[in-house]
Each structure stands twice: as C-alpha cells, then as structure tokens.
Amino acid sequence: MLLFVSLLSTWLSGAERPNILWITAEDMSPALGCYGDSYASTPNIDKLAKESIRYTHAFATNPVCSPSRSCLITGVYATTLGTQHLRADFPIPDFIKAWPSFLRAAGYYTTNNVKTDYNTGSAKRLIEESWNVNSDQAHWRNRKGQDLKKPFFCVFNDMTSHQSRTMVWPYEKFQKEVQSQLPAKRIHSPVKAPVPPYYPDTPIVRKTIARFYDCVSVMDQNTGKLLRQLEEDGLADDTIVFFYSDHGSGLPRHKRLTLDSGLRVPLLIRFPEKYKHLAPAKAGSTTDRLVSFVDFPPTVLSLLNLPIPNYMQGRPFLGSKKTTPRTHIYGARDRVDEAYDLTRAVRNHRYLYLRNYLPHISYNQPSFYSDLGEIRGEITNLARNKKLKPAQLLYAGPTRPRESLYDTLKDPYNQNNLILSKESAHQKARKLLSMKLLSWMKETRDQGFYPEEYVWEKSAQHNASPYELARDNHITNSSPIKAADLVGHPDANLDDLLGLLGKDDPLQQYWGLLALGGTNLCESCYDDLRYTMGDEHPNYIRTEAAKLLAENDQPEGLALLRKTLGHNDPDTVLRAARALELLGPKARPAITDMHVARNQWKADKSGSSIPMFIWFSLEKALARLGENVENAGL
C-alpha cells in the first residue's frame, strides 16, 4: 500500500485528479435514442451522448446482475472467482480487493447509492473496503469537513429499468410507482411498440415492451437530474462521467441469455475539457472498440495512473496503461435462482459463438420470479399450444442448439444459426471462436463445470475459496470440461455416456448423468443409474441419477428425491426440489413432502438465498399439481 500511495503522489505533483461518476442503469440493452432506437424517449441521455464517447461494442460478462457485479467490483471474472451462480455465497481471497479501496487509499471520497449485490460471502468486506458511504443517501453532496477537499468516485445505481418494474410487478403497481412520473406525451403507445421477430405479436407483448420503454424514460429523467446536480454544484468540468447498464434488458430472451440481447450494453463516457486529453476521440463520436465489464476496474485505475493489481483479468481501454484493443469478449450464464444452466459465449466484432452445455433444456425453462411476468406466461402458453413461429421457438422451444454461430452484422437479433453452414468464412469463424472459448475457460479456471456442492466440500476440506482451490490445483477443470463436451454431442453414443458413470472421478460421473438427460434410456441403463444412486456417491450424483430414474417411471428415483427434500444442506435440497418441479405430474406422490420442505425453507432465517430458491421451486411444482399454495405466483 505504501508503494501504491507513493506512485500516486508522483503523478499528483503535476496534475489535478478528476472526479469519477458512474451512473448504472439496471437491466437495459441499448434501448436509447442515441443508439438509434426511434421508439425510445431518452432526451437526457441522448444529450449526454453528444458530449461523450459512445461505445457500440460494450458487453457485460454475465447476463444477470450479481455475477456481473462481482466482476465489476473486483476486475476478475465471476467464473474465476466461483461467483458465477446467482446469489452465491462463496468467499473470495482477502488479497482480491474491492478496487474502489485503491481510490480511497489514494485520497478519494467514495460513495455507492445503493445497490451492492456482489454475489459473494465476502460482500461485507468488499463494501467496507470500497465505500466511505453506502446507502440510499450516498452522494457527493454529503461530503463534510476535510472530505470536501477530496475528489470523489460516486456510483448511482438506478433500479427504474429493473425487471421487477418492466415485467414482474402487477401492472397497476408499475403505473402508480413508475409510469406516473412521466408526462402523458412521453408514455409509450403499445400500438407503436417495435416487436422483435423472436416475440409473438400480441397485445400482452406490446404492452410489456411499451412498459419497458416507459421505465427507461423515467430512468432517463433520473439521469438528467444527476447531471444537472453536477452542473449546479460547479463540478461538471471536473468530473468524468460513465453511463452504462449492468446487462441486457429484463425481458424474456434478454436477461439470463448470453446472446447479444443479454450481454450487450450501452456505454457512454464524458470527458470534460480539462481531461479531453484522456479521451480516445472527440466528444460526440463513437468507437467500435470491444470492451467488457472485466475491463472497467483496470480502466479507471489507468485513467488515474494508479497501479493495476496483477490478479485483475481485464484490459484497460483508457488512460496511461491503455492496452491494444481486445479482439474477443466472453460471457457466461450459470444457475440463476432455481434454474440450473451452463452456457458460454465468445464474440468478436462480427461473430457470436455460443456453447450450450445443457442443450436439452429450453432457453425458456421455468423460473419462479420471471414467470411472474405476464409476457412470460403469454410466450410459454403459445409455445405449449404450438402457436409460435419457428423464429420464436428458437427461444421458447423445448430444446436449444448445442452450438450456435451468428453473424451479428447481418443478423443483429441472433436468429440465423450458421453452425452447419458450409461457407468457408463461417466454418473458419466456428473453429476459431470455439478454440478461443475453450482456451479462455481453461486459462481463467472456469468454475462453472463443478457442482456447487462439490466446491463447498472442497472448500471446507482445504479451507480455501474456489479461486484458491483452482489456483492451487485442488480442483482442475480439464476433466469436467472434457466430460461436459459429450452433452448433446452428435458422436457420443449411449455406451460412452454410461461409461462415465463407472469412473472414479465424481465430476465425470456428474456430467455423464447430465448428458444422459438428453437421451432415450433403455431398460439396461437403469442398473447403471441405480449404481450411482448408492450411498457411497455424493448427493449431487445420487440426485441426478434419481431424477433420470423418476423421469423414466422408476419408483426408486422418486423415492430418493422425496427423501432428499429432508436433507439439511440447502444446495442438496435445491437440486432435488428442482428435479421434482421439472417432473411435473410424475411428482404427484411427493406432494406431502414438498409441502413440508416448502414450509421449512420458507421459514428459514439464515440470510442465504438458496432457501428462497427452494421454496420458489416447490411452490411452482405444487401449484402446477393443483395445490393451493399461497403466493405461488401463478
């Protein structure tokens, strides 16, 4: 730290330090006038864009909030930290600091208003390190005494465009708490709403799209208010302003998916006159430089000419330590709430490549919270009744491609999968991007290929965080990545998959079971599954085997799932609860067990989110079976 301060003081002798203001919008793709969206009404942000550099290729690392925020606060990929699952509680090592702490050490006044959501058991430490003030009153205007002489780094997180407001809240609540803040002339007409080709064109869909844009307009008003306060206080000429969103919009097929609709975000950076030498171009211009959230922390440190910790994985795109432009960005989706998933993505300027490791599960798989949205029910019901067009079934159909390749220049909606194209350019892109993705997963020690229960077990055994487990080779991602590659593989036969169940490595067994979930099982397979249900195997193995047996009407599978609901480990119970939910009518004999477990975990006061996801899953399961469950959300 002494070296850190010494290096800073050397720089300070010849220059003033800029203030840094971050304005973060929730759940918003680039649905702004300045990004060419003619339906948007965003005059304040459009004005900011004329004074800023507008980035056309900025991307979140994860298409959901808390994993993205764990990256934004550390400069390390969530998949490296082990924070890639939504509302995870895994710790991160003490030497990985919340990067605003470096600004505090250099004499900055730092505030956050108000969301943290850093997705780690170390969140309390990160908050304490980062912020002089972290509250809904945090503001540069609240500086007092000696703090008035300090430059500031202030973050404002605007919730107005969050999924809760745009599709989950009852429409009346949205009207009262959000839409009422707009003058009548700025309320969006559903009749004029732009319906993308992956949505059915129905009144409910149009109403939800219009509602989303109303939320964006209120967020725009809030942004304008902040910028005016900066002007009123005479600080605009001393402050570099960042405006961006935390991932794609909270509508179906956006948030939670590693398509452009889930990962691409707006990014505006305004440099006042005295700091225009730090800008990469003139105000009002655009840049197509690829930037990722993992680049944000080292970029601000570079702007301030501060040292960048070696553990940070991003590439500074501004300042004294600016690097050559990156050629690729990466994205990851894992468990969100009770919905298990594993998708990885890599993108260059033209092509987006996706690898779905659970291709037999729909993009539109059930999810308690998202399913509260009227639009989700509309899409799901139309899909169930076979009333969707082929382009819409790419999202709402029962399965998804194992691999996808999209030409984003010709196909900005990511609709035309080129993976089977014979064109040499497409084949070359597929080969290059798949190799890039595999290298990135291995080099960054991707934690997504391990069951959470396995990581907790190893963490306790070695008294280490997931980051340290992988760094010190207590876990290695080579065997699970190789086994996971067999899921949905066209050349993998049943014997290959069953062979994994006999391995000594539980990770290969685990991925063998997941791969079998997308196949037609034969009578002789059941003995292999019964073997992996044995007491000598970890619970995550036993539960996955039980799920497969239950799906195939083997009674011992359902019996084990019912028994597992009584386990005391929440991660173990969640896996069983989700299996029962997806069983549908076949789970009917477990109704009593599900009621008991649902009531138990709903009353949990531990503060962990996993109990909430358990009762999310069980309430959905019970409601679908016709049970009277209060607040089931259906």
The one-letter amino acid code at 41 reads S
Q: Which residues are the active-site residues?
A: 65
Query: What are the tokens at 2?
Result: 């002494």
- Other C-beta atoms closer than 10 Å to the C-beta of 180 total 10
Residues 151, 109: contact at Cβ < 8 Å? yes
Angle between the N-to-C axes of helices 506-516 and 525-532, in degrees from 0 to 180, rounded to the nearest 10 = 140
First to last CA, the chain: 54
DSSP sequence for 146-169: GGGGS-EEEEEEE-TTSHIIIIIS
d(Cα 67, Cα 119) in Å, to the nearest integer?
Answer: 6
d(Cα 264, Cα 261) in Å, to the nearest integer?
Answer: 6
- Backbone angles phi and psi of 20, in degrees to 5: -125, 125
Query: What are the tokens at 452?
Result: 């959470």
Widest pairwise Cα distance in the chain:
78
What is the three-class DSSP state of 453?
Answer: helix
Closest to 333 (Cα-Cα) out of 448, 204, 431:
448
Closest to 70 (Cα-Cα) out of 22, 108, 122:
122
Residues 333, 62: contact at Cβ < 8 Å? yes
